Amino acid sequence: MYIFAIVLSACSFLMFGALVLRGAFTRIFKIFPLFYSYISYAFLAASVIYAIYLLDRRLYYRAFWINYLINALAEFAVLVEISDHIFKPFMMIRNLGRTLTVLISVTLGLLYVLPTILVSSGRSGALSDFALRTSVTKAIILIVLFYMARHFDTQWGRYAGGLMVGFSIYIALNVAVMAMSGVLSLPLFKPVFWVMTPLASAFCVLVWTVSLWNPVPITNLHAVSVAPGNDARAVALGLTRFDSALSKILRK
C-alpha cells in the first residue's frame, strides 16, 4: 500500500514539474501568477521532502506536515485568484467574489480553524483537526463561488473551471479522509491517510494539467451566457457598461 502511495506521489511530482515547465513555455503563468507560484513551490518542496525521506526518515514526517500546512494556507490565495478570473469581465462582481473569498477565509479561520490550535490536547489531534477545518473552509468558498457563477450566469472558461474542478476533487477527498481521523483508530487511519492524500493530489493535478496544457485565447466579451433568442454580444456590452457605471457610483 505504501508503494502505491509512493507511486502516486511520484506521478503528482512529475505532473507538477510538467505544469511548471509548460506554464513557462506557453507564458500562461502570467495569467495565473499566484497559482503558478503555488505549484512551483509545491514542486520544489516535494523535491526537498523526497531528499529528506531518503536521508532521514525521522525528519521526514515533520517536514511533510510543515509542507502540508504551508500548502493548506497558500491555497487560500489561489482561491482568491480563481474568484477574480471567474468574474473577470465585470469589476464589481470580481470585487464581490474576492471580498467574499477573503471574508469567508478570515471569519472561519478565526472562529472555526484557529480554536483547533488553541484548545487541542495533542499535536496529532491538532494537525488532523486543522487539516479538516481548513479543507471544510475551502469547500465552503468553492460552493459560494460555484453559486455566484451560476447566479450571475457567467462562463468559467477552461482555465478557471479546470482549477475549480481540480480543487473540488482534492478538497472533497481531503475532507473525507480527515473526517475519518475521528472515527478510525490510529493504526487504521495511517494507511488510509498515506494513500488517499497522494491520490487526491494526483487527481487534482491531472485535471489541472489537462485544463492548462494547451492555452486558448480568452475572450471577455462572451463571458456571460444568456438564454436563446437574445443577442449575447449586446447583453455582454450592456452589462459591462452597467458594471462600469456602478463602479463609478460606489467610488463617489
132 and 245 share one domain = no
Cell of 80: 482568491
The confidence score (pLDDT) of residue 240 equals 58
Measured in degrees and rounded to the nearest 5, phi and psi for residue 155 equal -90, 135
Proportion of the chain above pLDDT 70, given as a percent: 80
Residue 110 has pLDDT above 60, yes or no: yes
224 and 126 inside one domain: no
Q: Are residues 246 and 132 in the same domain?
A: no
Average pLDDT over the chain, rounded to whole?
81
* Confidence at residue 53, expressed as pLDDT on a 0 to 100 scale: 85
pLDDT of residue 40: 94
- Is residue 65 classed exposed, middle or buried when 0-12, 13-18 and 19+ CB atoms within 10 A define those classes? middle
Domain of 146 in residue numbering reads as 2-216
The verdict on 100 and 155 lying in the same domain is: yes
Q: Could you tell me which residue, 246 or 138, shows the higher pLDDT?
A: 138
pLDDT (0 to 100) of residue 203: 93
161 and 244 housed in the same domain: no
DSSP-assigned letter for residue 214: S
**Of 24-33, 116-125, 221-230, 242-251, highest mean pLDDT:** 24-33
Question: Are residue 73 and residue 147 in the same domain, yes or no?
Answer: yes
pLDDT in tens, 47-74: 998 899 888 888 888 888 888 889 988 9
Exposed / middle / buried, residue 167 (Cβ in 10 Å: 0-12, 13-18, 19+): buried
- Tens digit of pLDDT for each residue in 118-166? 776 666 677 888 888 999 999 999 999 888 888 877 777 788 889 999 9
Counted domains in the chain: 2
Q: Which residue has the cell 468559467?
A: 156
> Both 180 and 106 in a single domain?
yes
Residues 72 and 85 occupy one common structural domain:
yes
On the 0-12 / 13-18 / 19+ scale of CB atoms within 10 A, 91 is: middle
Q: What is the pLDDT of residue 1?
A: 66
Written as nine digits, the cell of 139 is 469547500
Q: What is the pLDDT of residue 229?
A: 45
- pTM for the complete prediction? 0.79
Q: What per-residue confidence (pLDDT) applies to 95?
A: 77
User: CB–CB of 192/180 below 8 Å?
Assistant: yes
Task: Write out the H or E segment, with its range, that includes residue 225.
Answer: none
Cβ-Cβ contacts under 8 Å for 81 (sequence gap 6 or more)? 32, 33, 34, 35
pLDDT over 90 percentage in the chain: 29
Q: What is the mean pLDDT of residues 68-86?
A: 88
Both 143 and 47 in one domain: the answer is: yes
Q: What is the pLDDT of residue 216?
A: 66
Do both 237 and 175 map to the same domain?
A: no
Instruction: Let me know: does 111 contact 103? Beta carbons within 8 Å.
Output: no
CB 199 within 8 A of CB 147: no
- My answer on whether 230 and 194 are in the same domain is no
CA–CA separation, 73 vs 106, rounded Å? 11
**Least confident window among 24-33, 80-89, 113-122:** 113-122
Query: Which segment of 6-10, 16-20, 163-167, 185-189 scores lowest on mean pLDDT?
Result: 185-189
Task: Report d(CA 182, CA 184) in Å as an integer.
Answer: 6
- Looking at the fold, whether 44 and 119 belong to one and the same domain comes out as yes
